[in-house]
Structure 1
């Protein structure tokens, strides 16, 4: 027969004394430590986001392909428009791809805007090692 105590609530488990070690108090938590860890995590995520934005994203340098023409076995001509800071310059990476998606050529071109102008339209030839299917602008970044 098991031993029952009047101070134990009905339905609560009864453990033999000394058998399972010391039980923890259920109310002991560290909210300050948890808040500090969350703050450090958010700060680290903010630093990573800022680094990635500076490295890969600059909304002042946008390029859009107008057309790609002059497709031969060794080249494609890409017409594109670049949005720049007024009077600024950018280095744009152009790429030509074959029908199966393989890159068959790439080149960098420096684009300069007229003083006070925010846009520059450029036509540039991309030399290729095989017949291209498409010409595209991968990215533009500040020249330098």
Structure 2
């Protein structure tokens, strides 16, 4: 069966009969599939954000370095304060870095707040492998 000019819409290309096969109908849109995929993506991203916040974003354990002193070739003393839930305790990771930024010491320290208090102050001596330039608190988390 060949097409005649009566069945061709104006402006449509005219192809030789039988050369290119039959023409396809325009594809159906699937809005339900698109909505389902979008919902799955949002749920996955929400779950990942919740998981990462639980792991790395607990604002109740906030640390502040007050000072670092007694810097020698083999040590630095770090004074710091940690905000914890009232009467709670935290495990903090302390580190010392040399002038070129290399890590020369790292330790975990557990500090506890006095009963009814929400801040715990601590002083800790870090033994270093080289002369430190700075002592710092990397992060704090609930004590194990």
The answer to whether the superposition gives a TM-score over 0.5 is yes
1:72 matched to 2:66? The reply is no
1:62 matched to 2:62? The reply is yes
d(CA) in 2 for partners of 1:49 and 1:84?
Answer: 23
Could you give the per-residue CA deviations for residues 16-72 of structure 1, whole angstroms, max 9, x where no partner exists?
A: 344334444336110001100111111111111111111111110000111111100
Structure 2 CA distance for partners of 1:9 and 1:68, relative to 1, 3 Å: same
Could you give the per-residue CA deviations for residues 96-140 of structure 1, whole angstroms, max 9, x where no partner exists?
A: 000111100011111101111111111111110000000000000
Cα RMSD (Å): 1.8
TM-score normalised according to structure 1 size: 0.89
Give the paired residue count: 142
d(CA) in 2 for partners of 1:22 and 1:114?
Answer: 83
Displacement after TM superposition at 1:84 (Å) = 0.4
TM-score normalised according to structure 2 size: 0.89
d(CA) in 1 for partners of 2:22 and 2:51?
Answer: 48
d(CA) in 1 for partners of 2:26 and 2:117?
Answer: 67
Structure 2 CA distance for partners of 1:101 and 1:22, relative to 1, 3 Å: farther
Q: Name the SS for the 1:132 alignment partner.
A: coil
d(CA) in 2 for partners of 1:22 and 1:78?
Answer: 80
Runs of 4+ in 1 over 6 A off after TM superposition: none
Unaligned segments of structure 1, at least 5 residues: none
Structure 2 CA distance for partners of 1:51 and 1:77, relative to 1, 3 Å: same
Could you give the per-residue CA deviations for residues 73-94 of structure 1, whole angstroms, max 9, x where no partner exists?
A: 0100111110101110000000
